[in-house]
Amino acid sequence: MAVSPVEALLVLDVGNTRVGLARWDDDGLHDAKRVATSNWDSIEGSLGELWERVGAARSRAIVMSSVDPSVAARLAESVVDVCQTESLRIRDDIALPLPLNLPVDDEVGADRVCAAAAAYDRVRGACAVASFGTAITVDVVSAEGEFLGGSIMPGLRLSFEALHEYTAALPLVTAARPESAIGKTTREAILHGVVFGAVGALREHVERYATELGEWPNLTLTGGDAELIAPYADFIDAVAPDLCLSGVALAYRKAAGLR
């Protein structure tokens, strides 16, 4: 689908439990926020607020990435109701922002590719993106800019919930930063196991990617739990919680011939 260059974008990212929203212009991404899909009034309020903020632009558009078709369909309806315009969808209306080196192109989530594209756009070399959200994904891009794939693991919250639900006595723990190396209580032991386990898994994945690539990839953390994990991962290069939203904007700009 042909798209035209615009002065401003409203970019949306539909995740498994939250919707990300931000506005983009030539100065970059602004006013990024995440709203739970259970709070639809707040989602629509944020839509209206951000659309009003890009109202001074001579041309504007709304573009969306999604991993949940039902929420995306509802959000598209809200865009029409609140903003009086149609939204464009990554992959359906706008091409993915990176070429894929995969056996099956339609299985990888557009959010993973958008985040990877934004990371590659920053470093222009081999890179990896670890997204800490409902799930943890660790994806890798070649030095030539091809999305090579990655891995998917349960996110921190899912791990806490699984330990609580499938055991007789383990309590439900909330994600937080461990204060010591050794958990002294059951709650601390669960917290340390999940958080440090995620850090260890991240290191293992990236080391294996480095072996495959022949070089250590530049590593960016993103997602809602990225800033919680970052202090324990001294091998990362950057933290960018809203990397996917930047990638959504990048996809539109590439489709419009701006990159």
Whether 8-94 shares its CATH topology with 110-245 is answered yes
In this predicted structure, the answer to whether residue 249 has a pLDDT above a threshold of 80 is: yes
Active site residues: 111
Domain residue extents for the chain:
8-94, 110-245
Q: What pLDDT digit, counting tens, does each position of 47-81 carry?
A: 999 999 998 888 999 999 999 999 999 999 999 99
Helix or strand (DSSP H, E) at 198: helix 186-213
Residue with tokens 């933290």: 239
Write down the CATH superfamily of domain 110-245: ATPase, nucleotide binding domain (3.30.420.40)
Q: How far apart, in whole angstroms, are the C-alpha atoms of residue 194 and residue 197?
A: 5
Residue with tokens 């109701």: 81
DSSP 142-165: -TTS-EEEEEEEE-HHHHHHHHHH
Q: What pLDDT digit, counting tens, does each position of 126-175 carry?
A: 999 999 999 999 999 999 999 999 999 999 999 999 999 999 999 999 99
pTM summary value: 0.93
Q: Which CATH architecture is the domain 8-94 placed in?
A: 2-Layer Sandwich (3.30)
